Structure 1
Amino acid sequence: MRAEASDISEMTSQLLFGEHFEIIEKQKNWSKIRLTFDNFEGFIDNKQYQEITPEFYSEICNEIPKYSGEILDFVTNTNNELTTIPIGCNLPLFKNGKLKLGTTVFSYENAIFSDKKLKNEILKTAFSFLNSPFLWGGKTPFGIDCSGFTQMVYKLCGYTLYRNAKEQATQGEVLSFIEESEPGDLAFFDNEEGEIIHVGIILNDYNIIHAHGKVRIDILDHSGIFNADLQKHTHKLRVIKKMI
């Protein structure tokens, strides 16, 4: 997804296999869309999506979502053609190893995520992204940004976060001190202008897992994130929030 209708425009997010959306504005080569999951808007190339009927859209909106559970996997259509998918892809109308995109039937045979998970599952899911490289706008283990990381981890555990850190900071319950936080809570960080620009997931023993250069584990204190490799604070703590 891009900020403007151009291949050289900033990538603001990504659409994964099976994600559905509404078309707000259709141009010759690009469409402006609104993602159903988090209402995030942006432009995508018209060659990269498949239109579905309103009836099919309504059906998948009303089902309990299921997501692919392997870091890297594939789905197979009835012609035995493979499509590679990363973790967290939607599996519309998934039942007995089959899913549908419009009229196309695919097979998927491996692990899935479905339903809400307990809070302690958030850490286990977060660790599966460890060392993933940073990519602005990314949402996969092959490139992910800070809010894409927190959103995807919570999504796989059955919870919806907004796409950007600033928007995620409007969700949940404010905690006054780090000591009140639990593993799985979110910590937000701001810049000199007071704008929230970063987010990470709190771990045990005053550590935090976040996407900064890569998905990494650092020390969290009352000032912010202390990077042991650089021997300095890299992010200034603004607020801690309990999402679940």
Structure 2
Amino acid sequence: MNFKFTALFCFILGINQLAHAQTDSTLYKKVEGLVLEAKQKYAPDKRTKIVALVQADAKKNTYVIESTEKEANTFLQSKIKGLPGKISIKSLPDTSIGENIYGVINLSVANLRTQPGNASEMATQALLGTQVDILQKDRGEFRVRTPEGYISYIPASSLVPMNAKEIADWKNSKKVIYTQEFGKSYSKADPASIRVSDLVYGDILALTAESGDFYQVSYPDKRIAFIPKGEALSFDQWLATRQLTSENVLSSAKTMMGLPYLWGGTSVKGVDCSGFTKTAYYMNGYVIPRDASQQVLAGDKIDILDKDGHFDAEKALKNLKPADLLFFASGKNSNPNARVTHVALYIGNGEFIHAAGTVRINSMLKNASNYDDFQTRTVVAARRYIGAEDAQIQKVQNNAYYKP
């Protein structure tokens, strides 16, 4: 009798546990589906916007959703209302950073990665003096958003966190921009003095005084240094002299000839293909999207394909202008609708400049001596940025991360 009772009890308990597990599984799939729906609607590009299920415990019925998008939060709140379990939405920036929701890069070139830790893939770079938004602190690193909207992780030592007042003070301060390819700042107004840091083109520092042939500058962390006047300009003067012409963009691009290819690189220390085009435009006072697959969505479309959607060299030679962007998919015979994996700047006469191994010039013409690289890729699109009315192609002074 006791044996039968025990067996019956265990059988009923097993059914209850199975039903509970099924309920948990159903809820998990429901939450996962809602997050996917919100992501598709409000954050289709995870490089610039976040909607993600970051914690899920089906046994305890607890779920945590992370989001940078207010509209996504509103959508999710309306959908999870009344669902069983504990489902919370964590907005970014979150409480891990307190009031310091801004940061300013404190190295000549800071490396940003897809995940915390130096072993993670490099996503992009940011230059000294660049403002970023701080979204979160994780394992001693900050998750940040750059001026072009790119979200990635950076070591805490690479930037200076700031609150609203501190970032306003930084943005309103007079500044200089370093205009040589490479150089350094000094501890005194003397080139024989100790170096404070290295510098690269595009680095921005606060101007505190002038001392003979030197600018006295302040770093985001308040270090004081000196830069030769011949190697920098006031930031306002630099902005005033930027003119977005094909000649200027290509001139800037050619100053990077021979630079090594560096995955995630966006500085004269090394560039990847889209980091190269981004830097060429930044040198002329414009902020453009970070990656090739994002850059192809900006600007004016140029017709370079035949009726079947394949590259037409004759049409390209006719329609392309210098400084237009050429976009490629990998593989000679790949589908022209394939994902963009490479970008170059068109020079003219069938030649283009790009970062592939090094920054170099190749040709799309089969009889050219520098045609070799072209035959390994497929051109799938071209875009014109110069003269385009597109909010994604933005003057530096109009970008919220640079203007006071």
Distance 1:146 1:227, change over 3 A: farther
Distance 2:345 2:122 in 1: 24
Distance 1:243 1:93, change over 3 A: farther
Higher gyration radius (CA) = 2
Q: Secondary structure at the match of 1:51?
A: strand
What is aligned with 2:140? 29
Higher RCO structure (Cα 8 Å, ≥6 apart): 1
Moved more, 208-217 or 83-92: 83-92
What letter corresponds to residue 350 of structure 2 in structure 1? Y
What is aligned with 2:345? 201
What is aligned with 1:175? 302
Distance 1:130 1:151 in 2: 15
Bigger fraction of residues in helix = 2
1:38 to 143, 148, 152: 148
TM-score (norm 1): 0.86
What is aligned with 1:68? 178
What letter corresponds to residue 186 of structure 2 in structure 1? T
Q: Secondary structure at the match of 2:113?
A: coil
What is aligned with 1:18? 129
Distance 2:286 2:159 in 1: 25
The alignment status of 1:123 with 2:250, answered yes or no, reads: yes
Preserved contact between residue 227 and residue 233 of structure 1 (Cα < 8 Å): no
Q: Secondary structure at the match of 1:196?
A: coil
What letter corresponds to residue 117 of structure 1 in structure 2? Q
2:226 to 73, 93, 107: 107
Preserved contact between residue 114 and residue 153 of structure 2 (Cα < 8 Å): yes
Distance 1:66 1:154 in 2: 19
Deviations 1:181-226 (A, max 9, x none): 22111111124361011111110222100000110000035x9xx8
Distance 1:231 1:136, change over 3 A: closer
Distance 1:172 1:137 in 2: 22
Q: Structure 1: which 5+ residue stretches go unaligned?
A: none
What is aligned with 1:212? 356
Preserved contact between residue 258 and residue 360 of structure 2 (Cα < 8 Å): yes
Moved more, 84-93 or 51-60: 51-60
Distance 2:352 2:182 in 1: 25
Q: Could you tell me how far 1:64 is from its partner in structure 2?
A: 9.8
Preserved contact between residue 133 and residue 141 of structure 1 (Cα < 8 Å): no
Preserved contact between residue 138 and residue 145 of structure 1 (Cα < 8 Å): yes
- CA RMSD for the aligned pairs? 2.7
Preserved contact between residue 257 and residue 359 of structure 2 (Cα < 8 Å): yes
Deviations 1:145-168 (A, max 9, x none): 000000011001011111111111
Preserved contact between residue 185 and residue 243 of structure 1 (Cα < 8 Å): yes
Deviations 1:217-244 (A, max 9, x none): 00035x9xx8837476122111111101
Q: Secondary structure at the match of 1:233?
A: helix
Moved more, 111-120 or 175-184: 111-120
Q: Secondary structure at the match of 2:263?
A: coil
Q: Secondary structure at the match of 1:147?
A: helix
Distance 1:75 1:164 in 2: 31
Q: Could you tell me how far 1:15 is from its partner in structure 2?
A: 2.3
What is aligned with 1:236? 378
Distance 1:53 1:176, change over 3 A: same
Q: Could you tell me how far 1:20 is from its partner in structure 2?
A: 1.7
| Aligned sequence identity (%) | 23
Distance 1:12 1:164 in 2: 10
TM-score (norm 2): 0.54
Distance 1:183 1:230, change over 3 A: closer
